[in-house]
Each structure stands twice: as structure tokens, then as C-alpha cells.
Amino acid sequence: MNPPKHSIDAKRTTAKSMVAKSTAAESTAVKSTAGKNAFVNNFSANNAAANNAAPTDQQRALELRKHKIFVTSLLVLAAAIFLGCSWWQSQPGDTPGWVGYVRAAAEAGMVGGLADWFAVTALFRHPMGLPIPHTALIRKKKDQLGDSLSQFVGDNFLNAELITSKVRAAKLPEWLGAWLSERGNAEKVSREVGKLTTNIVRAIDAQEAEELIQRHLIDKAAEPIWGPPLGRTLDALIDEGKLEPAVDEVVTWAKSKIDDSEESIVTLINDRMPTWAPRFARQLVGEKVFREMASFIREVEADPQHPARKSIRKGLRQLAYDLQFDATMISRVEEWKAEIRGSRAVKALPEMLWDKASTGLLSAAEDPESTLRQKIVELCVRWGENIRTDAELRASLDRRINSAVEFLANNYSSEVTGLISETIARWDADEASEKIELMVGKDLQFIRLNGTVVGALAGLVIYTVNQLLFGA
């Protein structure tokens, strides 16, 4: 028995309406999902080596093909059942009543499957190659998709108010204080600082470092005229009494030299006296001169106000004056400076300084027991304890963190979100469409499957209700 024409028309109309609504909702959802997955896929491609569990594009393509074959086979099966039932009903004689029900379900399932196939396909390409309007949406709307995704992330994730509220709720100062106050965590910080220091030092080019030392240390030190600053420094040291130890050292040095030079003094005086003088007389004169010199230097050593000491101070004062105001002395110092700069020792100084500094830093950074590493541990523990016990300090840190986060969110969130739209804009339209399809195509095939099944069920229900209400 053939179903009434009006029931078939009603069924078709209702099924198409349901499919249209499902397709519209599906399209909206898929666009959002596709945009998100496209953005994620860009990063997953870069991190595929680090994540061995993530499926490759080949694996995704194979999985998508399997689902497409299955869903398409189901659509073909529905079409075959519809055609078989239609042929059966067209034959002479009575047709069993259940054939109408099967035909209605198959027809609606076929319609629903075709509609969903069209909707899913239209997202990525032109169905059957036909340039139908509002198809190949991903390829055409790639840039708009990137802009929309960028705006979505900016409005919902990089919003300054949202971020600051999350940061404030996290109570970072309290957590930081409790974490740092534990010595094990402080040692972790010290270890990481040591690694960072080591990497920085090893990354610095030795030649560039030596040039920097030469340009900013040695050359800068040699730029000004040395005489006047040296004179003023010497004046200040004399006024503050800072040179008295130097005077003492000079006197002590002179005393030790005289004490060690008795034989040399006697021999020198013996050689200078007339040859006709008796030998013992020459010996006596030499010994007398030595004793007088030794006695004099001991007097100088014992008396802080000895005239010899005053003479030394006077000489130093005169030297300080000449260094500041005597053109000849200033010129002589400059000549001395030029000789020093041109010496081999000074030319080798940048290399020596960098070698010593880098070696010392590397040794201190790599040794957990070094003073540097232990100081970092102590500072971290002390700072953590201060944060944990000082409410005012915690409040201050909280304000600063929130201000910094708010500043970054307000001023640089657009830079981050702009990266999304710029990255998507650089993608090739066909390649982007293919990659997005690989990411979400499996789920979209389930939409096709659901469309076929739901359409069949809807057609069956509609036909049943029609039969109950209006009969054969």
C-alpha cells in the first residue's frame, strides 16, 4: 500500500525544516570549533616532536577517511532501502504495511544525511566542485575567522579585569612567601640562578667582552687628565691623616735598608777616602758614619714629629700642589700615563680581567657550596620569611603584582591577540582548510551520522503520526 501523497509531502517539509535548523546550528558551532582547533593546530605542528602521543596528519587523514566511508555507506544504504521500498510499492498488488514505514524512515534519513553532507562539505570546499554561494567557508573566511578568534581571546581570556581578579584570588605573595621560606625551594632557586648565570657567561663572546672592558673601563679611565685629580686626592689623604701609615712604611723601609747595608757603607766610604790615610782610620770613619745613620733613622722612627717626617709630609704636600697646578708636572704625568697605556701589561689587561671574572663567576655559579650560591639561598629564605610574617609587605607585593598584571594586560594583550590573527592570515587558505578538516573532520562525520539517524527516526515518527491521524 502506497502512503498518501500529502503525508509524504508533509514529512518531507518537516524533515527539511528540521535539517535546516540542525545545519544552521551546526555551522555556527563548527565555525567556532574550527577556529579554535586551527589556532591550536598551529602550535601542535611545532610541538609534535615534544609530544609523541599526538597523532600525525597522516594518522588523522586515515581516521577521517574511515569515518567518511562509514557514514557515506550508511547514506547509500538509506538510498538503496528507499529505492527498494519504492519499487516494491510500485508493483501490482497489495504491499505490506511495514514497507511504507521503512520507506519513510529511509527517505527522511537519506534527506537528513544529504543535507548534513552538504553542510559539512560546504565548510571546507565547494560541494561536487560547484561554486555554490556560501560554500568553502573556511577558505573564504580564514582571515575573518582569525580576527574573530583574536577578538574572542582578547575579550574572554586576556581581559585586564578578569586576569587581575584571578591573580588577586591566587594570593601569590602568600604562596611565594611560604614557598621561598622552605630551604629546599630556596636551594632550587639558587640552582636555577646558577644555571642562568652559567648560560649567560658562556654565551658572552670573549672578544666582545674584552672590547667592552677596554672601551668602558681602561679607555674611560685614561680619558681625563690624571694630574689634578691625583693631586686633590693626595691633598685629601694628607688632611685626613691617611698617609701617615705610608710615611711609617717609608721610615721602616729606610731603617731595614740601613741595617742591612753596614758593610756596603763602610766599603763605600773606604773607597772615597784618600789612599794615604791609614787603613784603620778609614775603617773607623766608615763605622762612625754607619752608626750615625742608624741612630738618625731610629730617631725618625721613634718621633712622629721628627723634622725628617715633617720634610716627607712637606714633600708630599708639594707634590699634591704640583700635580694640580704645575704644568710641567701635569705634562709629565700625562707622558707617564701614555707610557702605561702603551705597555704590554695594560694591553693584556682586558683579556686577563675577563678571564678572571668569567672563571670566577662560572666556578661560583656551578658550586652549590660557593659563597654566591649560599648567599642566594639565605636571601631567598630570609625574603620568604619576611613575606610570610609581614602583612604590610604582602599587601604591598600584591598591589605591585596586580598593577603590573593590569598594565601588561591593558597595553600588551592586543599584541598577543594580534599574533593569532597575523598567524592565521599567513596560512595558505587551502592548507588551512585541510588542516582544520583533519582536526575536526572526525567529529563532523558524526554530525552527518546523527543527521542520517535522526532524520530516519523523524521520518518514521512523522509517517506513523500521519497514519494514526489520517489512516491509509
The pLDDT value recorded for residue 430 is 78
Q: pLDDT band for position 272 (50/70/90)? A: low
Does 181 reside within a domain?
A: no
Q: Do residues 348 and 211 share a domain?
A: yes
The pLDDT value recorded for residue 420 is 79
Domain boundary among 362, 389, 405: 362
Does 382 reside within a domain?
A: no
Q: Do residues 282 and 357 share a domain?
A: yes
Q: Do residues 342 and 460 share a domain?
A: no
The pLDDT value recorded for residue 224 is 83
The sign of the dihedral angle between the CA atoms of 257, 259, 264, 265 is positive
Summarize the confidence of residues 215-219 as an average pLDDT.
Answer: 84
The pLDDT value recorded for residue 197 is 93
Q: How far apart are the C-alpha atoms of 328 and 321, rounded to whole Å?
A: 12
Q: Do residues 212 and 328 share a domain?
A: yes
Domain boundary among 336, 362, 388: 362
Model confidence at 43: pLDDT above 70: no
What is the DSSP code string of 200-265? HHHHS-HHHHHHHHIIIIIHHHHSS-SHHHHHHHHHHHHHTTTTHHHHHHHHHHHHHHHHTTHHHH
Q: pLDDT band for position 21 (50/70/90)? A: very low
Summarize the confidence of residues 453-472 as an average pLDDT.
Answer: 87
Q: Do residues 212 and 135 share a domain?
A: no
Q: Do residues 243 and 101 share a domain?
A: no
Report which of residues 2 and 430 the model is more confident about: 430
Which range among 38-47, 54-63, 170-179 shows the weakest confidence by mean pLDDT? 38-47
Domains in the chain, number: 2
Most confident of 72-81, 133-142, 150-159: 72-81
The pLDDT value recorded for residue 286 is 65
Does 166 reside within a domain?
A: no
Summarize the confidence of residues 391-395 as an average pLDDT.
Answer: 91
The pLDDT value recorded for residue 281 is 62
Q: Do residues 56 and 145 share a domain?
A: yes
Q: Do residues 137 and 251 share a domain?
A: no
Q: Do residues 93 and 218 share a domain?
A: no
Does 174 reside within a domain?
A: no
- Cβ atoms of 112 and 78 within 8 Å: the answer is no
Does 162 reside within a domain?
A: no
Q: Do residues 268 and 349 share a domain?
A: yes
Q: Do residues 29 and 131 share a domain?
A: yes
Q: How far apart are the C-alpha atoms of 80 and 263, rounded to whole Å?
A: 132
The pLDDT value recorded for residue 84 is 93
Does 376 reside within a domain?
A: no
pLDDT digits (tens, 9 = 90+) for 173-213: 999 999 999 999 999 999 999 999 999 999 999 999 989 88
Could you list the residue range(s) of the whole structural domain that residue 440 is in? 5-154+415-470
Does 160 reside within a domain?
A: no
Domain boundary among 332, 362, 392: 362
Does 176 reside within a domain?
A: no
Q: Do residues 271 and 351 share a domain?
A: yes
Q: What long-range pairs does 373-377 form, CB within 8 A, spacing at least 24?
A: 373/190, 373/191, 373/193, 373/194, 374/190, 376/186, 376/189, 376/190, 376/193, 376/194, 377/183, 377/186, 377/187, 377/189, 377/190
Model confidence at 18: pLDDT above 50: no
